[in-house]
Chains A and B, each alone.
Chain A
Amino acid sequence: DIVMTQSPDSLGVSVGERATLKCKSSQTLLHFSNNKNYLAWYQYKPGQPPKLLIHWASMRQSGVPDRFSGSGSATDFTLTISSLQAEDVAVYYCQQYYSTPHTFGQGTKLEIK
């Protein structure tokens, strides 16, 4: 199985500041056939369904604010929130869909400092 490891486990950022969340996979998620990275990011708030933010490592899902961006390739990925808003408080998960079983990171809890 591909193991996904996120860092840090928790992060406190001031409103308006940048938040940087990391995700590392135990194997490459870059497929040679299409040069795409098989990685997604989700936002999970208590009492709400998880929300897809980013797929293919850097493609923002429709309707997601442009302060959210994804980057990285192969085994190292980053989710960046350029200017943190109060409503961004949540747990963020990365997920690989390169191979089954599809696996998730342990999550990063993002809070307001």
Chain B
Amino acid sequence: QVHLQESGPGLVKPSETLSLTCTVSSDSMDSYYWAWIRQPPGKRLEWVGHVFYRGSTTYNPSLKSRVTISVDTSKKQVSLRLTSVTAADTAVYHCARVADPAFYFDYWGPGTPVTVSS
């Protein structure tokens, strides 16, 4: 069984950087992609991007200039960094495992709410 748990500050000021961590409980992170997905209030789920266990990344073009996703397999953690945040980045942020061999998501974390406000 695979469990994911997101953590990080629930409140971030406009123009600052949002940083979240996803801790993975599984035998190994190897051979998998790991993703971040968010849901703003009243809106649909939005794929933010994903990282391969070896470190290569793919991002949503709408966020590409501001987002960094990284992985530390020794700590079994996936990190999300989003710079220059605005109110539009207020959302519940989920981490998820990307299924093998296609890009649907077979395990999700419960999500962590982040509010951007001064």
Complex alpha-carbon distance, A61 and B97, angstroms: 14
Chain B CB within 10 Å, residue with most, of A40, A50, A106: A50
In the assembled complex, which residues on chain B have CB atoms less than 8 Å from the CB atom of A51? Answer: 108
Residue of A nearest to B110 (CB): A49
Do B102 and A106 have beta carbons less than 8 Å apart?
no
Residues 60 to 118 of chain B near chain A (Cβ within 8 Å): 60-62, 94, 96, 99, 102-111
**A18, CB-defined interface residue at 8 Å:** no
**A102, CB-defined interface residue at 8 Å:** yes
Given known A101-B47, A104-B46, contact A95–B109 (CB-CB < 8 A): no
Do B44 and A93 have beta carbons less than 8 Å apart?
yes
Interface residues on B, range: 20 to 34
Do B61 and A101 have beta carbons less than 8 Å apart?
yes
Do B102 and A107 have beta carbons less than 8 Å apart?
no
Residue of A nearest to B43 (CB): A106
From B45, B61, B94, give the contact of A95 (CB < 8 A). Answer: B45
Do B106 and A105 have beta carbons less than 8 Å apart?
no
Complex alpha-carbon distance, A97 and B37, angstroms: 13
Complex alpha-carbon distance, A103 and B46, angstroms: 7
Do A48 and B47 have beta carbons less than 8 Å apart?
no
Interface residues of chain A, those whose CB is within 8 Å of chain B, are: 38, 40, 42, 47-52, 55-56, 61, 93, 95, 97, 100-107
Interface residues of chain B, those whose CB is within 8 Å of chain A, are: 4, 44-47, 58, 60-62, 94, 96, 99, 102-111
